[in-house]
């Protein structure tokens, strides 16, 4: 009997059903205290296949109904969808195509077209059969890896002209087990080479690799029915859109803790990404954000507590990684991550983060000023930074008249800046992932008279329009809004409204493109997070997928091919509905070309912009690398070139600030560790993107003065950006 036949023949003796799929988009917010620790479990000799339960079958039927009848996207469960679910499921279980062979895939040819009808009726067994076979293959591969290491890494040949693909997600499946053996020898050689080049001795390399593979092997043997069900359901729900996902009872518990804002930990949002746990975003004001080394799209390899050995978490369930990273305040957790810009998966860095409470005041809006000169006139530019759209709901419900919120705080900051005599205002929404929708609505209202701010369309094509009902205006002067790829959701609503009203200019890079609204619905077993509506700008265009395109673009280090709505599989498309009547305060078309010209002239001569472009070029080249050499000498030359470039860029930045250059990359890394250990250290200097926002504002004001000197007052008021928004 084959493994697949044995798996299919097995049934639970406790009433499990003979039933029969992602990317698991489940997100966890690492803030709360630990829910539990991991017990040391003996690794069994034989893998025990998992089987579906009656509760899971019932939940599957409920999920299928919700998706078909209440999701924003009208998508039926068809044979075509069945094949897509099959492919998505395999992508989740073996995304790098390192466990299954073509021979294995052939075993499931008939299942490929049957998953859809099975999922309608709660027949889960086909999905579990696939899961069990993959787990068996994972065990076989890891056992092979351990056997290869036991033979001695000194027997591996690093002189041949060999290479290995960095990303195998689009590669063909290897033909059979023998071809997979050859691939895994290359993977081991790649891992050994990377650690040797980082200065590790062979004995330490063997210990590290053995610990890694043994940890993954242990997790494979400990597979649970719920693991298979969650992966299967997320492959299924992910067909509708990437933000629709199934939460297991355990994941639901984590989600509910997140929503209650028990804010103690490192402050990071994570999700499953094939075998890895990937950083989605950092919580403003949280320890990880303040520490500064962890970045979106980094993938976590291992986790270490204080004075303990690292625990390899490749292949772990998301909720277990969350438990391991959580911990009490003032304790330190050390993460080994594959940086988002790494050329291959063997390049890692270690990041120590002191856990702490995320304080509301550290997410609050803050202000600063910039003084710039144009044409012999000095301008004072106000800057307001908004890390998130927040509101203290408990204080609000308790009737506290002084409760904190984004809009209240910004109104106060504007008043303080106007008292200082600012000539213009820059709103910094970079890295603002959104938050309370009503705060975005109210914030727009600080800059316009009464009017619509955003449209929301549901699956029935019913459109709700949110309005600013308050005719008062907190600020009527010229405005610039800074955005980047991590500006999402509520940030996009605000930036889009300011752009549509002609109330100000949007400067920076294209935003994330998260223009959908989700609701969490209870099931008999876990919860379903489902997309039920979309956001649309007052001009009619959706913020979904496309985001907000800036009027003046500033390049960013963030890789748009990896981060953003349009980088996600099955994301809902951009579309548009009818615009709603709204005021147009100013048409910038008459001055935008001159503003862009001045910006580009500064860009071409500003050493900070030049350095940014140099770093972007370096990162782009690294990301474009599709394979790495397994020849020791070639690899060493590549490694040394990368280290030289990193050090050159870091020292160039230090020289711009008048600081002493680092003598070596080790000095740079030691300095980064020291900075990370001090959560109270802050960079008081405004970064150059904010300063460029100030320069663009000064250009607007300068153009105002020039126009005022040659036009009569009435003609000037009709054409001037500053006068047009001044009531």
Active-site residue, 514 included:
yes
Three-state SS string over 588-652 comes to: HHHCHHHHHHHHHHHHHHCHHHHHHHHHHHHHHHHHHCCEEECCHHHHHHHHHHHHHHHHHHHHH
What does the H/E/C string look like for 190-250?
HHHHHHHHCCCCHHHHHHHHHHHHHHHHHHHHCCCHHHHHHHHHHHHHCCCCCCCEEECHH
Non-local CB neighbours of 203 within 8 Å, separated by 6+ positions? none
- Say which residues have a Cβ less than 8 Å from residue 458's Cβ, sequence separation at least 6: 72, 464, 532, 533
The question of whether 529 is a catalytic residue gets the answer no
Task: Tell me if 678 sits within 8 A of 353, measured CB to CB.
Answer: no
The SS3 call for residue 482 is: strand
**Backbone φ and ψ of 102, nearest 5°:** -60, -35
97: alpha, beta or left? (left if phi > 0; alpha if psi -120 to 50): left
User: From the candidates 218, 290, 354, 514, which is the catalytic residue?
Assistant: 514
Distance of CA 141 to the CA centre of its chain: 30
User: Measuring CA to CA, which residue among 209, 218, 251 is closest to residue 38?
Assistant: 218
Per DSSP, 101 falls in state: B
Which alpha helices (H) appear in 152-201, and where do they start and end? 177-197
Active-site residue among 323, 468, 500, 702?
500
Radius of gyration of the chain (CA): 27
- Active-site annotation holder among 101, 343, 405, 489: 489
For residue 86, give the nearest of 116, 120, 107, 53 by alpha carbon: 116
Query: How does DSSP classify residue 278?
Result: E
- Residue length of the chain: 727
Q: What's the distance, CA 430 to chain centroid?
A: 14
Distance CA 548, CA 243 (A): 20
278 counts as catalytic: no
Residues 6+ apart with CB under 8 A from 452: 465, 466, 467, 468, 538, 580, 581, 582
* DSSP H stretches of helix in 13-166: 54-70, 79-93, 102-106, 109-112, 115-120, 125-150
Q: Between β-strands 424-428 and 479-483, what pairing exists: parallel, antiparallel or unpaired?
A: parallel
Exposure of 162 by Cβ count < 10 A (0-12 exposed, 13-18 middle, 19+ buried)? middle
The dihedral over CA atoms of 663, 666, 670, 676, expressed in degrees to the nearest 10, equals 110
Q: Are 329 and 292 in contact (CB under 8 A)?
A: no
Active site residues: 489, 500, 514
């Amino acid at each position: 009997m084959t493994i697949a036949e044995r798996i299919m023949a097995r049934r639970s003796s406790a009433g499990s059903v003979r039933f029969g799929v992602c990317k698991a988009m489940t997100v966890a917010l690492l803030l709360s205290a630990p829910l539990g620790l991991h017990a040391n479990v003996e690794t069994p000799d034989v893998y025990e296949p998992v089987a579906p339960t009656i509760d899971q079958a019932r939940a599957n039927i409920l999920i299928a109904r919700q998706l078909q009848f209440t999701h924003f996207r009208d998508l039926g469960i068809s044979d075509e969808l069945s094949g897509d679910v099959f492919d998505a499921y395999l992508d989740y279980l073996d995304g790098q195509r390192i466990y299954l062979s073509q021979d294995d895939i052939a075993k499931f040819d008939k299942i490929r077209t049957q998953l859809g009808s099975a999922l309608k009726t709660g027949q889960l067994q086909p999905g579990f059969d696939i899961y069990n076979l993959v787990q068996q293959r994972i065990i076989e591969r890891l056992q092979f890896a351990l056997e290869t290491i036991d033979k001695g890494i000194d027997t591996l040949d690093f002189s041949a002209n060999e290479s290995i693909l960095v990303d195998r997600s689009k590669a063909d499946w290897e033909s059979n087990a023998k071809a997979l053996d050859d691939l895994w020898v290359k993977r081991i050689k790649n891992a050994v080479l990377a650690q040797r080049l980082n200065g590790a001795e062979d004995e330490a390399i063997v210990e590290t690799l053995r610990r890694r593979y043994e940890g993954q092997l242990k997790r494979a043997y400990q597979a649970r029915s719920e693991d298979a069900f969650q992966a299967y359901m997320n492959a299924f729900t992910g067909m509708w859109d990437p933000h629709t996902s199934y939460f297991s009872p355990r994941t639901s518990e984590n989600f509910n803790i997140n929503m209650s804002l028990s804010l103690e930990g490192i402050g990071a949002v994570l999700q499953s990404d094939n075998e890895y746990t990937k950083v989605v975003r950092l919580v403003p004001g949280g320890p990880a954000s303040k520490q500064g080394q962890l970045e979106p799209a980094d993938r976590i390899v291992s986790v270490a507590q204080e004075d303990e050995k690292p625990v390899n978490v490749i292949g772990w369930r998301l909720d277990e990684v969350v438990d391991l990273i959580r911990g009490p305040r003032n304790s330190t957790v050390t993460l080994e991550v594959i940086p988002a810009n790494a050329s291959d998966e063997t390049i890692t860095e270690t990041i120590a983060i002191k856990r702490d409470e995320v304080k509301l005041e550290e997410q609050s809006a803050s202000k600063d000023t910039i003084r710039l000169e144009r044409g012999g006139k000095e301008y004072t530019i106000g800057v307001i930074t908004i890390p998130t759209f927040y509101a203290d709901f408990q204080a609000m419900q308790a009737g506290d008249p002084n409760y904190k919120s984004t809009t209240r705080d910004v109104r106060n900051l504007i008043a303080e800046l106007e008292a200082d005599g600012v000539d213009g205002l820059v709103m910094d929404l970079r890295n603002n992932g959104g938050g309370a929708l009503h705060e975005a609505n109210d914030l727009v209202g600080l800059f316009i008279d009464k009017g619509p701010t955003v449209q929301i369309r549901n699956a029935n094509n019913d459109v709700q329009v949110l309005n600013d009902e308050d005719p008062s205006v907190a600020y009527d002067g010229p405005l610039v809004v800074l955005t980047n790829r991590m500006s999402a959701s509520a940030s996009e609503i605000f930036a889009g409204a300011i752009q549509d009203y002609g109330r100000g200019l949007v400067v920076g890079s294209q935003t994330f493109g998260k223009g959908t609204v989700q609701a969490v619905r209870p099931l008999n077993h876990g919860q379903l997070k489902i997309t039920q509506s979309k956001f649309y700008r007052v001009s009619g265009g959706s913020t979904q997928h496309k985001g907000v395109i800036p009027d003046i673009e500033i390049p960013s280090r963030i890789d748009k091919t990896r981060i953003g709505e349009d980088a996600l599989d099955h994301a809902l498309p951009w579309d548009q509905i009818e615009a709603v009547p709204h005021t147009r305060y100013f048409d910038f078309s008459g001055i935008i070309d001159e503003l862009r010209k001045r910006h580009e002239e500064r860009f071409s001569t500003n050493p900070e912009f030049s350095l940014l472009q140099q770093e972007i070029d370096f990162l782009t080249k690294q990301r474009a690398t599709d394979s790495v050499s397994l020849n020791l000498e070639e690899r060493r030359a590549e490694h040394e070139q990368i280290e030289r470039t990193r050090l050159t860029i870091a020292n160039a930045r230090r020289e711009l600030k008048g600081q002493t250059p680092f003598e070596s990359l080790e000095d740079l890394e030691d300095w980064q560790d020291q900075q990370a250990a001090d959560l109270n250290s802050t960079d008081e200097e405004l970064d150059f993107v904010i300063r460029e926002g100030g320069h663009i504002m000064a250009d607007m004001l300068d153009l105002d003065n020039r126009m005022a000197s040659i036009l009569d007052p009435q003609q000037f008021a009709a054409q001037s950006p500053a006068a047009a928004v001044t009531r």
